[in-house]
Amino acid sequence: MSQPASVLDDRYGAPSRARRPVVIGVVAVLVVAATAWLVWVIGFHGRPEVSSQMVGYGVAGQHSATARFSVVRRSTDVTAQCVLTAYASDHAVVGEVTVPVGARYSADAIVRSTMRTERRATTVELVGCTAPGQDKPR
C-alpha cells in the first residue's frame, strides 16, 4: 500500500517547490510594511501638537468661575485654543469659554482663566486644547 501523501500527489500533483519562498517573501514584505506603519503612528500621534490637563478650578461667585490648567505645546510657535465648560448642580452648561494660548506663554505653561456663568457653577471641565493640524481636543 502506498502512503496517503503519495496518493494525493499522484492524484493532484506535488506542491510546487517555488511556492514556499514566494509565501515567505510576501509575509516578510507585509511585516516590514506593518512595522513601518506602526512606527509612523507612534511618531505622529504619540506627541501631539498640544495637550492639556486641568490643575484646579474655583467658583468665584454667582456668575463667575475660574480654572487653572496646564498646556504643553511642541513649540511656542503653536497657537492653541482651549475650551473650558462650567456646569451647574443640575448638570446644565452655565458657561463656556475658549482660551487662546499663544506666543506670550511658554511651551509648557499653567494658564488661568475666568469665565462668566449664567448662574452658580459647581464644576468646571477642561474639554481640551486644539491646534492647527490637530482637530481632536487633548
Using pLDDT thresholds of 50, 70 and 90, give the confidence band for residue 2: low
Predicted TM-score of the model (pTM): 0.69
**Does the structural domain 50-130 have CATH classification 2.60.40?**
yes
- Tell me the per-residue pLDDT of 21-75, one tens digit each, with 9 for 90 and over: 888 999 999 999 999 999 988 887 777 889 999 999 999 889 999 999 999 998 8
Q: Domain-by-domain residue ranges, the chain?
A: 4-45, 50-130
Q: Are 64 and 124 in contact (CB under 8 A)?
A: no
Q: Are 113 and 125 in contact (CB under 8 A)?
A: no
Q: Cell numbers at residue 36, please? A: 513601518
pLDDT above 70 covers a percentage of the chain that reads 97
pLDDT higher than 60, residue 1: no
pLDDT higher than 80, residue 15: no
